[in-house]
Amino acid sequence: MSTAIEYFQFVLAPQMLIGLVLGVAVILVALGLTIIFGLLDVINMSHGEFYALGAFIALALGSIGLPFWLLVILVPLLMLPVGYIVERGLIQRVFHSSERHVTTLLLTFGLGLVMEDAFRLVFGPNPLKPETPIAGAIDVFGVFLPLYRLFLIVGGAVIVALVALVVYRTRLGAMVRAAAFDRDMAASLGVPVQHVYAGAFAFGVALAGLAGVLLAPIYSVFPTMGRDFILMAFTVVIVGGMGSIAGVVVAGLLLTQVQAISSLYISPVWSDPIVFGIMVIMLMVRPQGLFGRLGHG
């Protein structure tokens, strides 16, 4: 019995805690992705680059002396107009074609390529690491946990709760869900659908930027940083159900735990194939994911 407790305390629990931090990080990135898909029906292939953009803006503003806590608020606000312009200027141009899924996917894929290379041009290819805003660490049930990671877990939970609150409990959220469910009906009832669409894209992009700010002190900042997360974020969105906030949270926690725990027993290099394998199987047997789409039941 005591060996089981020790095994839990010294082997399983630390690994699960590492998985939890990663899980929160992935959820933050996937949240914007799932909102954009749920409402606009657009697969945003450049989402990882918007995540990187947030991190780079934070890095640039941080280097001129702005404090981290201001950046947490400022960067998402700066990302809003960027997302709005991208939606109105680029995505709307191909949004009404008959093959919307394919054309918007291709367009955002191209945008991602351009952004990634632009980062390399401006900031150079090497990883940059901002200072950790909260120093120190604490003991959680005998497990060493840096304070900033604890903050991330709590902060991530707060952000998810706030987003869910806005989407499900406010008038704005009701308009968004109405537009997602039936665009024409919502428009005829006076919902400014054009602005709701652009606004939702901007909101999703701003969430990616916020994730960039929050995760930069842990995972460093480099031009291809979006790629590492976006695969996992896509997997989470698919398994959870595209457009579902609850799905993102459940799938995000589940998959990162699978990854963390499986890497105890088999070589960690196989954890990625396992996670992608889960995604492929999920797409085969239940392509709509664990939960339904935003605004659909």
Q: Near another protein by CB under 8 A, which window of 96-104, 187-195, 204-212, 214-222?
A: 96-104
User: Could you give the 3-state DSSP secondary structure of residue 45?
Assistant: coil
Name the residue nearer to another protein (CB basis): 142 or 277. 277
> CB under 8 A: which stretch of 5-13, 26-34, 100-108, 167-175 binds another protein?
100-108
Query: Considering the complex, what minimum distance in angstroms separates the CB of residue 100 from another protein?
Result: 9
- Helix axis angle for 47-63 and 225-240, nearest 10°, is 130
Among 109, 141, 144, 168, binds another protein (CB under 8 A): 109
Phi first, then psi: give them for residue 145, nearest 5 degrees: -140, 115
CA 62, CA 219: separation in Å to the nearest integer? 16
Question: Pattern of binders to another protein over 218-257, x per CB under 8 A?
Answer: -------------x--xx--x-------------------
* Nearest to another protein of 14, 289 (CB atom): 289
Residue 120 lies near another protein (rule: CB under 8 A): yes
CA distances, 136 to each of 7, 157, 277 (Å): 26, 21, 38
Q: Binding another protein by CB under 8 A: which of 102, 137, 140, 166?
A: 102
CB-based contacts of 232-235 (< 8 A; 24+ apart in sequence): 232/26, 232/29, 232/30, 232/256, 232/275, 233/26, 233/29, 233/30, 233/33, 233/47, 233/48, 234/30, 234/33, 234/279, 235/275, 235/276, 235/278, 235/279
Judged by CB under 8 A, the residue of 12, 74, 106, 150 near another protein is 106
Q: Please select the residue that binds another protein; options are 6, 7, 70, 93, rule is CB under 8 A.
A: 93
Q: How far is the CB of 119 from another protein (least distance, A)?
A: 10
d(CA 190, CA 192): 6
Residue 241: CB minimum distance to another protein, A:
12
State the sign of the Cα–Cα–Cα–Cα dihedral 213, 111, 233, 36: positive
DSSP character for 224? T
- Does 105 bind another protein (CB under 8 A)? Our answer is yes
Token match 């953009």: residue?
A: 53
Strand (E) or helix (H) holding 145: strand 143-146
Q: How far is the CB of 40 from another protein (least distance, A)?
A: 12
Select from 94, 143, 164, 261 the one that contacts another protein (CB under 8 A).
Answer: 94
Q: What is the size of the binding site for another protein (CB under 8 A)?
A: 39
Q: Which is nearer to another protein, 145 or 260 (CB)?
A: 260
The answer to whether the CB of 62 falls within 8 A of the CB of 11 is: no
Axis-axis angle for helices 171-181, 13-40 (nearest 10)? 70
Nearer to another protein, 85 or 165 (CB): 85
For the bound state, the minimum distance from the C-beta of residue 41 to another protein, rounded and expressed in Å, comes to 8
List the one residue out of 38, 72, 21, 43 whose CA is nearest residue 207: 72
Instruction: Kindly identify the residues of this chain, within the stretch 167-196, that bind another protein according to CB under 8 A.
Output: none
Position among 24, 53, 79, 107 found at the interface with another protein (CB under 8 A): 107
Taken in order 120, 126, 131, 135, the sign of the CA dihedral is positive
Summarize as ranges the residues that interact with another protein (CB under 8 A). Answer: 43, 90, 93-94, 97, 99, 101-103, 105-107, 109-114, 116-118, 120-121, 231, 234-235, 238, 267, 269-270, 272-273, 276-277, 279-280, 283-284, 287
